[in-house]
Structure 1
């Protein structure tokens, strides 16, 4: 639990900056994504030591979870795809100014790593992005099941909520879930915190 609060404090320290217009910020975040291209980040980009350490550590935590969760084990059994996903999560989280461990916890809580998850309200993919967000940012034809598109848009949305809430992660998570009057969802995400 001490580690969790330390991670949350780290997220908050990196999260406090105001955005003038959250929709404009989200548009900027997703403008360079092309959902017709590769599903994950490029293999030829430089990977720094921090990223590699995070991927290795998070993969070990996932492998432990997979031993207890057969559906998760089936979805995440391919080592190459699992590592590509973790590198993509790291890249998109950092790109949006988020802690990758927060993003992976949202993914775990929202979809339990189901790429093609669809909620009863129509939210899609790993981060359960509602289709109206693609319309708002002008990417109505975006494939929300494309990993990079889903993660980039989900991270941009979460970033904008952190900005609106002046870095308060609990309120930002509640906004992300559309349940601002309750701490149930943020507590659920804190419980899903992978590292």
Structure 2
């Protein structure tokens, strides 16, 4: 097991730097902790639902376009389709733009499911393991599960957006542990432009 962990870390670092900062464990009101905990509990697989046929058609067009763009990063068609439908579902569930979440993932992990940063952030959205203690079931390994990682990341970013009164720039800085510094928010906002 230890050899596997060393090999995983070596592969992660060889594949390129992960840009996660050191998310801060902040004191949360019990109501916020409960809301976050409830947001990540539902293990229902993503199943898009649409109010109108037009919404369904727009989703299908988005999925086809994003799949084409992500083909180099995620060559397996089934993996790519599951990833994109989960990003879309979890982003929308948290009230976020799916393109912005794709931009954040691009900056955080370069679409690597098993990415680990120097400070220990994990997975696509580089979620810090302390979050599993604060709002989860203490299962840090689950942060490498696609849906779990995306659900945590989207719920946490939504919380930061609410804390920052909708200011995406400050929320992104908080997400990365670099609040007030321009590099990370600017990188995510720039990457988001590629996914609009």
The residue that corresponds to 1:178 in the other structure is 177
Structure 1 Cα separation of the partners of residues 37 and 182 of structure 2: 28
Structure 2 Cα separation of the partners of residues 105 and 144 of structure 1: 19
Please provide the CA RMSD for this pair: 2.0
Aligned to 2:139, what secondary structure does the other structure show?
coil
The residue that corresponds to 1:126 in the other structure is 124
Q: TM-score, normalised by structure 1?
A: 0.75
Unaligned runs of 5+ in 2: 1-28, 51-55
Aligned to 1:192, what secondary structure does the other structure show?
helix
Q: 1:77, CA displacement in angstroms?
A: 0.6
Deviations 1:45-94 (A, max 9, x none): 6562332222122223324xx3xxxxx3xxx1111210111001000001
Q: 1:33, CA displacement in angstroms?
A: 2.4
1:147-186 equivalences in 2 (<5 Å): 147-186=146-185
Structure 2 Cα separation of the partners of residues 95 and 119 of structure 1: 26
Aligned to 2:144, what secondary structure does the other structure show?
coil
The residue that corresponds to 1:53 in the other structure is 61
Describe the shift of the 1:168–1:21 C-alpha distance in structure 2 as closer, same or farther (beyond 3 A). Answer: farther
Contact 1:25-1:156 at 8 Å conserved across structures: no
Q: 1:144, CA displacement in angstroms?
A: 0.4
Structure 2 Cα separation of the partners of residues 21 and 184 of structure 1: 32
4+ aligned runs moved over 6 Å, structure 1: none
Deviations 1:108-132 (A, max 9, x none): 1100000000000000000000000
The residue that corresponds to 1:97 in the other structure is 95
